[in-house]
Homo-oligomer: A and B are copies of this chain.
């Protein structure tokens, strides 16, 4: 579809600068845009490209707009406006209602007439697929599992038994939701499996990345609240709870029974031990290791950065001697 700048401005609450009758039909980067495209400037790094872009229009902030000769949408939050404009101009394909003849749907499952069930998908006994939901090719929906209206489950996802997915969620390929948690009792050097009989509850508007794993609870449920966003290869262990609107980047993980607050931002590769509590509005920096509860909002973290290898070796060798260095320092101070 296409829209004029005036239409976009009124829909997304922006100010138009320049010719509002210009029509755009797709989004593009400043560097690659052509006159049919609308671009955006959210990162000052790309400011110089404003002068040379061939975009029909640009979305940007008030400050940047002062020097912009291209027609533009001016907003307090240009990146959010861009996201909404892109979704309007280039939406994902609408569900094509119906069950593919090669799908395998248990007679006791309930599939909404407006839902799309892909080729080779398997819908288990008693499962329920809501209005306008999409189940990708080859995806397996377990027994008694519920997929809420408007949710999109990509190909080759495993939603195992008794999982609940809320409204308008997106689950990417390879994600596994509802596998057994890692629970074993030690007995004379052997491991006795602890049955994992809890469920998984996923709120509304949650997005779950490719090959991410969310285990079922051991007795009670593992929970992702509304608006949680998980990237790829994330691990959520049994009984964990992730608060509303918290985002976790790729390769991060939460161990068992840990509770994470609302609106937290967890960078890539961060791991959080089990049985602790993180309050709301905490940010963890790239690749940090969280071993204690956090009770105050703020930024926490720490990982040592790569250095030229020979320099690293010297620092690492001294790290092992740190306590001895401290003793020597104390002795000197006493003199």
Interface of A with B (CB < 8 Å)? 27-29, 32, 77, 79-80, 82-84, 86-87, 90-92, 100, 102, 104, 118-120, 122, 124, 136-138, 140, 142, 154-156, 158, 160, 170, 172-174, 176, 179-180, 182-187, 189-195, 197, 207, 209-211, 213, 215, 219-220, 227, 229, 231-233, 235, 237, 245, 247, 249-251, 253, 255, 263, 268-269, 271, 273, 284-292, 298-309, 311-312, 314-323, 325-326, 328-329, 332-333
Contact = CB atoms under 8 A, between A and B. Distances in A.
A75 to B, nearest CB: 10
Contact of A250 (B193, B235, B289): B235
Contacts of A247: 184, 191
B319 A308 contact: no
A211 to B, nearest CB: 5
A313 to B, nearest CB: 8
Given A104-B120, A140-B137, A250-B235, A263 B189 contact: yes
Given A170-B193, A184-B247, 15 more contacts: A28-B219, A104-B120, A176-B232, A191-B247, A213-B232, A235-B268, A255-B268, A288-B306, A300-B312, A301-B306, A301-B307, A311-B320, A315-B321, A318-B322, A325-B326
A304 B323 contact: no
Contacts of A237: 250
